[in-house]
Structure formats: C-alpha cells, structure tokens
Amino acid sequence: MAVVFAKTPKGTEEMTNRSGALGPRVRRVLIMIDGKRTVEDLRAMLQADDLQTTLGLLEEDGYIVVAAAGTAGGKMAAPAAPLPSITAFTELPATHDPVRLQRARNFMVNTLNTFVGRLGTSALLDRLDAAKDHAELRASFDEWYHAIVMSREGRREAEGLRAKLLEVI
C-alpha cells in the first residue's frame, strides 16, 4: 500500500522557523514531504536506510500526518480513519504471554548477535535478557534498531527486521 505524508502546521512552522529540534537528516526528510510523494518516492530520492524510523519520529512528534493511502486500483485517497503509526507496537494480549515475550527477546538477541556481534552491544543484550515484560523490551526497541542500522549487513535488512519484530513485541 502506498502512503503519502503531509506536513502538519507544526511541520510547516519548523520549516519556517528552524527551531533546531531536528537533526539535518530528519530535517531533510521533512523538507521532502509535500503531501504528494509516496514513501517509496521518498525512499528513492533520499537513499535513506532508516527512512521508516525517521518518518515514524516525525509522525510521533506531530510534524507529519498520513494524507493519503493507495487503493487497490493504484489511486490515492484520504484515509477513512486514522491509520496506525508506522512505528506502533501491536496490542498486547490481556494476559501475560511468556511465549510471545520469549520470541521477541530471542529475535532481538539473535539479530544483534548476527548483524552486530556481542562486542559493543553487551549492555543492551544484558537488558534484553533481564527484561521481565514487553514494556521493558519495547523500551530497548530504539537502541536495538539503531544498533542494527549502524552495522553494514544490518542496514540492508533493517526495515524487514523491524517489521518482523513489531509483529511480536
């Protein structure tokens, strides 16, 4: 599904006033958002491996909103209802699910070991191992993603890994 983002009044104000709250890479993405370009168009123009994360940050901070989503025929239409955030975690079951918790933990640990290695991530690996619930794992999500994106091999797989982890975390 193609998604188009548009700047909110806060995003437009940031373009005018340059408050300094955004780093240069994030600001560059915000500049390119015009309410017409799809996420895929932005990805082709910006060559940013962490575009999904950047869009998520801009959306969560109120700089952008979903303006339109692609339909089956390829036509763009305004969403009927607000779409979930692109970095939103799934709903947790009403009761604690230790199997799901362990799957999420194993995924995070295994991907760190595979793409980054233990050296430099040992503190994060220790926190993941000590996490008692999904909230503690979710608190480490950004650090996990950053570590994956900073590795050469992980950068290529980051978006797919992020999407898989969001299914279970």
Provide the 3-class DSSP secondary structure of residue 88. Answer: coil
The predicted pLDDT at position 9 comes to 92
- Look up residue 142 and give its two tokens: 């950004």
Four-CA torsion 87, 91, 95, 96, nearest 10 degrees: -10
Mean pLDDT across 94-108: 91
The predicted pLDDT at position 8 comes to 92
CB proximity list for 19: less than 8 A, separation 6 or greater: none
pLDDT band at 82 (very low <50, low <70, confident <90, very high): low
The answer on pLDDT for 48 being more than 80 is no
Taken as a whole, the chain contains a residue count of 169
